[in-house]
């Protein structure tokens, strides 16, 4: 007698349908929604989300995949590797969402890449107007890199956050995010910096 195993559950069928949409639906809006839905599927969502983050032609889909890897990626080296890659090389808001997810996951391997994302030199902004799309994407990345460093809680981040406070190309626009990150770290050095900047 043939052994067929148990029939797939409704949960399994739902998961397969979401993955099918994410991988092959022609509408990027549908693929983006599929990436959002995968956050409720636990660690089995890792592989399709990582694939979408790396290969989907739509920046919106890749942003959703990055953001929701933060929900399911704790303890996954593959997720951290994919997010670090996206932080460094992703288009548009993908690096910012990758930074956000790395903060959610809390893996200290992300520390140095997040510092690199934070330390954008002022000349990086000189070629474009401050309100250009490209500078918005860079600002978005800095915001989430600072927040992620705060969530990691590593005291090594303090001097880099101080540097950002002193040298941000946007002036005082992002100071709140650097101060909030220092509050999350909470070491005596961080508290002293907060006091010095009057926050």
How far apart, in Å, do the first and last CA atoms of the chain sit?
74
Tens digit of each residue's pLDDT (9 = 90 or more) over 143-155: 999 999 999 999 9
pLDDT value of residue 123:
47
Cβ–Cβ < 8 Å for 37, 11: no
Domain ranges across the chain:
11-105, 109-199
- The whole-number pLDDT of residue 196 equals 87
Please, what CATH class does the domain formed by 109-199 belong to? mainly alpha
- Asked if residues 144 and 103 have their Cβ atoms less than 8 Å apart, the reply is yes
Q: How far is CA 182 from the centre of its chain?
A: 19
pLDDT at 78: 98
Query: Do 11-105 and 109-199 come out as alike in CATH topology?
Result: yes
Q: Which CATH number does 11-105 carry?
A: 1.25.10.10
Helices 94-105, 133-152: inter-axial angle, 10-degree rounding: 10
Exposure on the CB side of residue 84, measured as CA atoms within 13 A: 18
The better pLDDT of the pair 9, 78 is held by 78
Over pLDDT 90: what percentage of the chain?
A: 73
């Amino acid at each position: 007698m043939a052994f067929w195993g148990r029939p797939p559950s409704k949960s399994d069928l739902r998961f397969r349908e979401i993955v099918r949409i994410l991988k092959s639906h022609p509408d990027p809006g549908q693929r983006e929604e599929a990436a959002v839905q995968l956050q409720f599927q636990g660690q089995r969502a890792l592989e399709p989300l990582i694939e979408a983050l790396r290969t989907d032609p739509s920046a919106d889909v890749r942003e959703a995949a990055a953001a929701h890897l933060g929900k399911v990626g704790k303890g996954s080296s593959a997720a951290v590797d994919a997010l670090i890659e996206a932080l460094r090389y992703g288009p548009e808001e993908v690096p910012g969402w990758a930074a956000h997810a790395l903060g959610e996951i809390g893996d200290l391997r992300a520390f140095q890449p997040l510092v690199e994302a934070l330390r954008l030199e002022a000349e990086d902004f000189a070629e474009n107007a401050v309100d250009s799309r490209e500078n918005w994407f860079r600002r978005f990345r800095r915001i989430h890199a600072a927040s992620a460093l705060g969530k990691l809680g590593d005291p090594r981040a303090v001097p880099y956050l101080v540097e950002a406070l002193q040298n941000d190309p946007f002036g005082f626009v992002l100071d709140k995010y650097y101060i909030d990150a220092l509050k999350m770290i909470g070491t005596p050095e961080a508290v002293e910096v907060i006091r010095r900047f009057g926050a």
